Amino acid sequence: MPSSPENLTIGALAKAASVNVETIRFYQRKGLLDQPEKPYGGIRRYGASDVARVRFIRSAQRLGFSLDEVAQLLRLEDGTHCDEAAELAAARLADVRTRLADLQRMETALSQLVVACRTHQGRVSCPLIAALH
């Protein structure tokens, strides 16, 4: 039986959403994706809205939202709660900026240590190893 957009098996759903089947099951266990009823003697079927939901979840995760935050965004998904969604995004943005600042400090420190190691001569201990002690 061919897979139409409204008649997808879990495997076809996973493929359409570019995830694996275990990801679908995980999202179901977390309550992010409904599990359709299983007809007697049959298999569960998914539709285009399920594909869109999984893609939404994945997109939100790529932006750094936790699964709890994704669940909040899904509750706001009708588009009429923009202020609440903006608050979640602002919190995520603040976290990203903090991480960027931390990464910038790490980059500076490591760059200095690499230069120190490359200019290091003789039998004196390695500047990188010494800095880590």
Write down the pTM of the prediction.
Answer: 0.76
Residue 43 makes CB contacts below 8 A (sequence gap 6+) with 9, 10
**Cα gap 127→100, rounded to integer Å:** 25
CA 64 to chain centre: 6
Render pLDDT for 10-51 as a digit per residue (tens, 0 to 9): 999 999 999 999 999 999 999 999 999 888 888 999 999 999
Helix (H, G, I), strand (E, B), or coil: what is residue 8? strand
**What's the pLDDT band for 4 if we cut at 50, 70, 90?**
low
Per residue in 55-96, pLDDT tens? 999 999 999 999 999 999 999 888 788 899 999 999 999 999
pLDDT at 42: 87
Alpha carbon distance 122, 107 (integer Å):
26
Residue 75, amino acid: R
